[in-house]
Amino acid sequence: MKIPIARAADVLLGGGVIAYPTEGVFGLGCMPDDPLAVARLLSIKQRDVAKGLILIAAERRQLEAWIDGGAAGLPDPQTPTTWIVPASAGVPDWVRGRHTGLAVRLTTNPIARRLCLAVDSPLVSTSANIAGRPVARNRFVLRRRFGACVDYVVAGDCGPASGPSEIRELSTGEVLRARRP
C-alpha cells in the first residue's frame, strides 16, 4: 500500500483532483497545467474560471516558469501570505482568470509542502467549499462535502494559520484580502 503523499502524487499526476490540508483551511487541488483537472475542480467548487486560482509551491524554483521575471523576489514565508505577482506569458487563463497577475504562495503547511515536492510542481490550491459557502474546517465536514467528488482525500491537519491566507500585491504590498481570525 502506498503512503498517502505518494498516493496523492499519483492521483495528481494522473489528472485527478484531491482535497488536502493547507495553512488555514482544507483545500482542493490539482496540477495547474492540466486543463481538464482544473475544469473539474472548478465544477466541483462551482467557481467561475474568471476569478482565477492560487498556486502553492514548496520552493521558489517550482514557481519560476509561472512568474514573469522569476520567483526570486518572493518574500520568505513568515506567515501564510498569497502574493499577486506578474504572470509569465505562458500562464493559462484557467489559472489566471480575468487577471493579468497570478496568485502564488510558498506554503508553510508540511503536508502541502510534501505534496508539491512529490510532484515537483506548484499545485492549484483553492479552499474546500462551494463558491460563496463556508469552508470545510475539519476532516469530517471535508469528507462529507467532498469525499465523493474528489479522487483522493489526504489525511492531516491544517495549520499553522486559523483561516484563509492574506492576499497582497507584491509590487506595492497592498492588502487585497486581510487575514481572518
Overall residue count recorded for the chain in this entry: 181
Sequence-separated (6 or more) residues with CB below 8 Å from residue 19: 26, 27, 28, 29, 128, 136, 142, 146, 147, 150, 152, 153, 154
Strand 54-57 with 18-21, pairing: unpaired
* Nearest CA among 95, 116, 93 for reference residue 23: 116
pLDDT tens, 55-94?
999 999 999 999 999 888 898 888 888 999 999 999 999 9
Sequence-separated (6 or more) residues with CB below 8 Å from residue 140: none
Beta bridge partners of 19: 28, 153
Grid cell for residue 133: 459557502
- pLDDT, position 1: 47
- pLDDT, position 180: 62
Domain boundaries defined on the chain: 4-177
Distances (CA, A) of 174 to 30, 81, 169: 28, 12, 5
Angle, vertex CA 120, rays to CA 119 and CA 125, nearest 5: 70
Residues of the chain where predicted confidence (pLDDT) is lower than 70: 1-2, 162-163, 180-181
Which CATH class for the 4-177 domain?
alpha beta
3-state DSSP percent of the chain in helix, strand and coil, to 5: 30, 20, 50
Radius of gyration of the chain (CA): 15
Model pTM above 0.85: yes
Phi/psi of residue 125, each to 5°? -135, 110
pLDDT tens, 26-39?
999 999 999 999 99
Beta bridge partners of 74: none
Sequence-separated (6 or more) residues with CB below 8 Å from residue 20: 8, 26, 27, 29, 111, 112, 115, 153, 154, 156
